[in-house]
Structure 1
Amino acid sequence: MTAHSTDPFARPTDIDPTTLRRARFSQQGYGRALDHISLIEIANAISIAAEASAGLSEPDVKREALAVFGGRRMTESISARLDAALTWGTENGRLPRRTIGII
């Protein structure tokens, strides 16, 4: 995957989605399905969660990012989607690793 993800991403048309650093938060119980959310936006949520806590382990940052979108249950498919966003974010410099396993 390149810096220009082909995932759809709702944003103002004059903004490159790879430069946008925000995520749309959802209330618990009114969550958005992760397979309907761009990897870029998921990586943004991971970044927001990691920055708010001064760094988290991968399992913890994935759970916090899931909560951003109103989710609670970590299924295999949700975990895989979060892993794909982690990969995209680290490969494109959005999610620096401070130490092994810490985002």
Structure 2
Amino acid sequence: MPKPRLQQDELELQEIRELEQQLLKRQKEAADLPKRLEREKNERDRTMPPLDGLDDRIRAKRHEDAVTRGEFRNMQKAQNRSLLLLFALICATIAMIAWGLRLMEG
């Protein structure tokens, strides 16, 4: 009879030791909690908050890019017109030289 009682006592002792280990583990976690909370608070303080007006800046950048593309197209059109005028001027100059030469010959 003492044998079963001894096993039961050993099981209870083992359960008590496991509970003690769990309590010690929780105690360590609780002891580390203030440090962890302080570390998290410092990280939050060091982390830069989202910029105010970020959406406005993105919208302004898109607008600026669109305007820049529009300006580029306008510059291309102006250069094409200038090239056309230069070509017309050269043709007119050649025509006047040819007309002048015909007048001198004739």
- TM-score by length of structure 2 reads 0.18
Higher Rg of the two aligned structures: 2
Q: Hey, which of these two has a bigger chunk of helix by percent?
A: 2
Larger relative contact order (CA 8 Å, sep ≥ 6): 1
